[in-house]
Amino acid sequence: MKKEDVKIIIQSYNYVRPYTKNMLLILLMVIVTIGLSIIQPIMWGHVLEAVLKLEHQKFTRLILWLLGLYIFQTIISFVQSYLSSHVNNSIICEMKENVFSKIMNYQMRLIDNMGVGDVLSHLEGDVQVIANVFTNLILNIIIAILKALIIGTIAIVISWPLAVVIIMMLPINYLIVDQFGSKLKLIQIELRKNMDKYYSGTQEYVTGIKSIKSQGAKKYIGEKFNKLIIDNKFIGIKMGKLIAASSGLTSLLNFITQIIVYVVGMYLLVNGKLTFALFVAFSSYTALLSGALLEITQINPKLQQAVVSIKRVNKILDIFEDNQEHWGSRNIVNVSGNILFKNVSFGYDNLLFKDLNIEFNANKKYAIVGLSGSGKSSLFGLLLKIYDIQEGKILIDGIDVNEINEECYRNLVGAVQQEPILFNMSIMENIKLGQKNVTDEQIYMAAKMANVDNDIKKMQDGYDTIINGMNDNLSVGQKQRIVLARTLLKNPKVILLDEVTSALDNISQYLVNDSINALRSTHTIISISHKISTIIDSDEIFVMDNGKIVGQGKHKDLIKKCECYKKMYDLENNGDTHVNVIA
């Protein structure tokens, strides 16, 4: 095994350091169990000897002692198993929490590049493997080494010729396991990569099942899914063949070792160099010693497989230091809601904005319009601070947003996204979503302002209605209004609306717009919309094209002065549905 891999395993001990005392207690119990398992073969040898010699009292005494030892060993094993399970699950829980927390605090551009499968595979497969390294694998290695040392010493004391027979088989066992272990590591890497693809694909297909059905793509997607599981199937079969071949060869070798031990043991018995009781005990020790030695030979390949998972989790944790969100420590109060973009540059692979300057004054209603790909949604992403700018500054009341702490900023700026996200919990919980010190009456009032209160009350369980995982027990309009209620409950000083009325009927549009307009005198409202008819009454409209502001003003002025705006307005009023003007 490479020094680098050993170093990685040692460093990964930090994951389980808080459980050191429990692990030492488990190890102590293991040592006691080993001691009891070593005593029993000798006692069984004497039991058989007492049977042959018809020594009834000795037989009864030994049986009672064995019964007591077995009961004690059972209790110790139960406590050890319980503690091991407790530590294992605690480590898994803590590591999952740590990995998930890091991912949640990544910069959004990094999350965009990560597949859902990567996240699920890290949280499920890799974390489980790392926990097992310390609660099972390394513990079993320590057990195996202790057994080998203790039983090996006893075996040599009982009969060194028989002990030599077992030890001579060790190099052959090691060669078998080492050859198969290096191949298994490569297959393990391949399997983890394929599991990432499987998780990502499955999540996409289940989430998009409505689109799959409506597009008549069930067969096509079914074939792609089958390819994912068939790839994993063949990798699993390949791994199974190697494990079966390795186990078969080692089992055969152990059987041959057992036969040689019996042949040599019979010779020693016949020549009076070994007693019957010790031969019986040694026969039992043969299986224990062979198993312990085999476990030692398997250390390298097993640890190599574990290193694969440790490296994957380390990657998640290590890259966090250079890719975490940037927040300050300032907690600002009495915010007016003035926003200024000052020479802002931002892009993904290429720059989208360069030296962008735009200002939103407090207590006014603004709109941002533009053709698809013009940069409206990216501008929202910057306002929400889910993306960091490359150059320039974004200021709220003259304060750089990077100086403000996260909790404060999230309370200052709220948003309703074009694609509303609801979670598998009650409608009440979805509206509240972690906000503390909020009364039921405040939630009802927010729902009324968003014009969704009546819809909720008509549902069988009202506000206690559970939104299912696919959100298909709600209409798109209902989902959007519930998210709007969530934002209104938070009452942020700056409210961002991304196509908030796009899925509403005319009456609902009017009522929601009425609720929004009631806030314009006390809040900074910024809205994205491809429907110019819904933003005509804005105090100011910004027209974007290719990351630049190409028009700015009220509706009546833009119609006259901005060609891009007039084109969008004409397309909408002429009912041309073939041109996409959505962000």
Ramachandran class of 421: left when φ > 0, alpha when ψ lies in -120 to 50, beta otherwise: beta
Nearest to 131 by CA among 177, 85, 83: 85
Q: Are residues 91 and 137 in the same domain?
A: yes
Task: Note the pLDDT of residue 579.
Answer: 37
- Give the SS3 label for residue 467: coil
Task: Note the pLDDT of residue 526.
Answer: 93
- 583 located within any domain: no
- 330 located within any domain: no
**Domain end point (choices 296, 323, 350):** 323
Query: Residue 315 belongs to what domain range?
Result: 3-323
Q: Are residues 125 and 268 in the same domain?
A: yes
Domains held by the chain: number: 2
Task: Note the pLDDT of residue 322.
Answer: 64
Task: Note the pLDDT of residue 215.
Answer: 66
Rounded to 5 degrees, φ, ψ at 529 are -160, 140
Q: Are residues 145 and 178 in the same domain?
A: yes
Task: Note the pLDDT of residue 113.
Answer: 67
How far apart, in whole angstroms, are the C-alpha atoms of residue 197 and residue 116? 9
The CB-side HSE value for 376 (13 A sphere, CA atoms) comes to 29
How far apart, in whole angstroms, are the C-alpha atoms of residue 69 and residue 277? 19
Q: Are residues 246 and 357 in the same domain?
A: no
How far apart, in whole angstroms, are the C-alpha atoms of residue 512 and residue 108? 30
- 580 located within any domain: no
Task: Note the pLDDT of residue 473.
Answer: 72
Could you tell me the strand order of the sheet in which 339-347 lies? 351-360, 339-347, 391-396, 399-400
CATH of the domain at 499: 3.40.50.300
Q: Are residues 417 and 286 in the same domain?
A: no
Total Cβ atoms within 10 A of residue 245: 14
Each residue of 92-137: pLDDT tens digit? 787 777 777 777 777 776 666 665 566 666 666 677 777 777 777 7
Each residue of 188-204: pLDDT tens digit? 778 777 877 777 777 77
Sign of the torsion angle spanned by Cα atoms 444, 447, 449, 455: negative
Residue type at 389?
I
Task: Note the pLDDT of residue 583.
Answer: 34
- 383 located within any domain: yes
How far apart, in whole angstroms, are the C-alpha atoms of residue 180 and residue 290? 19
Task: Note the pLDDT of residue 23.
Answer: 81
How far apart, in whole angstroms, are the C-alpha atoms of residue 125 and residue 192? 8
Q: Are residues 263 and 353 in the same domain?
A: no
CATH of the domain at 152: 1.20.1560.10
- 334 located within any domain: no
Q: Are residues 353 and 314 in the same domain?
A: no
Rounded to 5 degrees, φ, ψ at 212 are -60, -45
Its pTM stands at: 0.64
Task: Note the pLDDT of residue 373.
Answer: 78
Q: Are residues 47 and 133 in the same domain?
A: yes
Can you list the residues of the chain whose pLDDT is less than 50? Answer: 576-583
- 293 located within any domain: yes
Q: Are residues 293 and 407 in the same domain?
A: no
**Domain end point (choices 323, 350, 380):** 323
Q: Are residues 522 and 400 in the same domain?
A: yes
**Domain end point (choices 294, 323, 352):** 323
Rounded to 5 degrees, φ, ψ at 391 are -140, 165
Q: Are residues 215 and 360 in the same domain?
A: no
Q: Are residues 111 and 225 in the same domain?
A: yes
Task: Note the pLDDT of residue 344.
Answer: 92
Burial of residue 332, with CB atoms counted within 10 A of its CB: 0-12 exposed, 13-18 middle, 19 or more buried: middle
Residue 468 structure tokens? 């299912």
Each residue of 14-63: pLDDT tens digit? 777 788 888 888 888 888 887 887 777 778 777 887 887 888 888 888 88
